[in-house]
């Protein structure tokens, strides 16, 4: 049986993990980072993995998750600790809850302390500890509903009670260490052990309360975004004001364009507008009259449409090379790879920000936070 794939984000020293069932290739990703999305997608596709769940150990303060993007691009579901209040997640994990992937089991353990909702996860003889237990250390408890007393109990009564040979995979490491074991932490974790004995709860609380750590640099932007699985709602005001396409972060397509500007370009004939959502989405959610639909992914299963390129070329028949084409999806994420493929065919391809439905709001409902519909642009329903 394989060990987890451990991936590292140097900017935040965050570890992301991939585990899978070797018969079905169903997979779980733990704590993915937004800036590493393309890397993670390459690893997933190279290994032939079918991502089933995107799991967060807690609502992070030091990086933004790529969960919302992974949902859109892979069809996986988000599973996050119920106590973290990440409302758009499909699965609100309770203590002891087990996720199945293929024939494998992945068990959630509520380990509060770093944050009130924090969880650790056990798979076979591995434990993913997030910021609860780090190698030789533990997460801070001085912000974000943290509690040193709760952390002491999570460490000593939950995690250190796992079998000694259990491999510990932390959420971060700042010294290049990759993993540890419960046995090793029982003897060498300096937050817990002093003079060869376990600190008392009172000693641990005094130590944690005296740490005087600097405030996390990205807490004000990262925590609100992570409560929405990585969606940054502050972006919508800027989108609305865009009078020019934005240069995309990822190479490979011409730019990101707001729904309003896409509407203008479509009306003036400056660019062709194509709806790349599945036929099911167009039928159930709504469509834009007189706009061709070319599926980028096909429902159910959301496999990439093998005819996408051919159908796009047919739709652009008679247009010169370099003509502008704008791709619309549900939320402006699937349309990025669709735009990259259109650009590779020789068109000037734009991703329409926010998509048709925008992003989930705090109640996980769409069509209120950005998107073609919520922006008041024309659409219809059968």
Q: What residues line the site for Fe ion (CB under 5 A)?
A: 60, 131
The minimum distance between CB 131 and Fe ion, in angstroms, equals: 4
Q: Which of 63, 88, 80, 83 is nearest to 219 (CA)?
A: 63
Compute the distance between CA of residue 377 and CA of residue 354 in angstroms, rounded to an integer. 13
Compute the distance between CA of residue 319 and CA of residue 311 in angstroms, rounded to an integer. 14
Nearer to Fe ion among residue 60 and residue 110 (C-beta): 60
The minimum distance between CB 117 and Fe ion, in angstroms, equals: 11
- Reading the block at residue 276, the tokens are 């790349």
Nearer to Fe ion among residue 60 and residue 282 (C-beta): 60
The minimum distance between CB 130 and Fe ion, in angstroms, equals: 7
The minimum distance between CB 81 and Fe ion, in angstroms, equals: 12
Nearer to Fe ion among residue 93 and residue 271 (C-beta): 93
The minimum distance between CB 21 and Fe ion, in angstroms, equals: 28
Q: Which residues pair with 297 in a beta bridge?
A: 304
Nearest residue to the partner Fe ion, using Cβ: 131
Provide the 3-class DSSP secondary structure of residue 57.
coil
6 backbone dihedrals φ, ψ, rounded to 5°: -110, 125
Compute the distance between CA of residue 297 and CA of residue 312 in angstroms, rounded to an integer. 13
Nearer to Fe ion among residue 139 and residue 371 (C-beta): 139
Nearer to Fe ion among residue 73 and residue 127 (C-beta): 127
CB 106 within 8 A of CB 123: yes
- Reading the block at residue 325, the tokens are 């084409």
Nearer to Fe ion among residue 12 and residue 335 (C-beta): 12
Question: How many degrees, rounded to 5, is the angle at CA 42 between CA 37 and CA 46?
Answer: 155
The minimum distance between CB 14 and Fe ion, in angstroms, equals: 9
């Amino acid at each position: 049986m394989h060990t987890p794939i451990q991936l590292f984000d140097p900017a935040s020293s965050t570890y992301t993990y991939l585990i899978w069932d070797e018969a079905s290739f169903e997979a779980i990703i733990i704590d993915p980072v937004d800036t590493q999305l393309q890397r993670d997608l390459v690893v997933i596709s190279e290994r032939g993995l079918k991502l089933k769940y995107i799991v967060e150990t807690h609502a992070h303060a030091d990086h933004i998750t790529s969960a919302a993007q992974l949902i859109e691009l892979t069809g996986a579901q988000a599973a996050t600790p119920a106590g973290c209040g990440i409302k758009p997640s499909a699965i609100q994990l309770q203590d002891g809850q087990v996720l199945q992937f293929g024939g494998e089991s992945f068990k959630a353990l509520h380990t509060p302390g770093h944050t009130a909702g924090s969880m650790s996860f056990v798979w076979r003889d591995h434990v993913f500890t997030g910021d609860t237990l780090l190698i030789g250390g533990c997460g801070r408890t001085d912000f974000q509903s943290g509690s040193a007393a709760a952390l002491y109990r999570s460490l000593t009564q939950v995690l250190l009670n796992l079998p000694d040979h259990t491999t510990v995979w932390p959420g971060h490491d700042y010294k290049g260490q990759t993993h540890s074991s419960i046995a090793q932490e029982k003897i060498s974790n300096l937050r817990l052990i002093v003079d060869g004995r376990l600190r008392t709860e009172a000693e641990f609380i005094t130590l944690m309360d005296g740490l005087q750590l600097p405030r996390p640099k990205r807490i004000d932007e990262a925590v609100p975004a992570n409560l929405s699985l990585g969606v940054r709602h502050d972006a919508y005001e800027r989108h609305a004001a865009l009078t020019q396409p934005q240069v995309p972060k990822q190479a490979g397509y011409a730019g990101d364009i707001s729904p309003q500007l896409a509407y203008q370009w479509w009306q003036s004939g400056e660019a062709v507008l194509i709806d790349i959502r599945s036929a099911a989405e167009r039928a159930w959610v709504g469509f834009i009259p007189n706009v061709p639909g070319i599926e980028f992914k096909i429902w159910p299963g959301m496999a990439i449409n093998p005819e996408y390129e051919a159908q796009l070329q047919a739709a652009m028949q008679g247009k010169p090379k370099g003509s502008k084409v704008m791709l619309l999806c549900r939320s402006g994420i699937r349309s990025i790879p669709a735009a990259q493929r259109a650009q590779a065919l020789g068109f000037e391809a734009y991703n329409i920000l926010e998509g048709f439905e925008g992003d989930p709001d705090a109640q996980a409902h769409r069509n209120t936070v950005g998107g073609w519909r919520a922006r008041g642009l024309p659409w219809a329903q059968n």
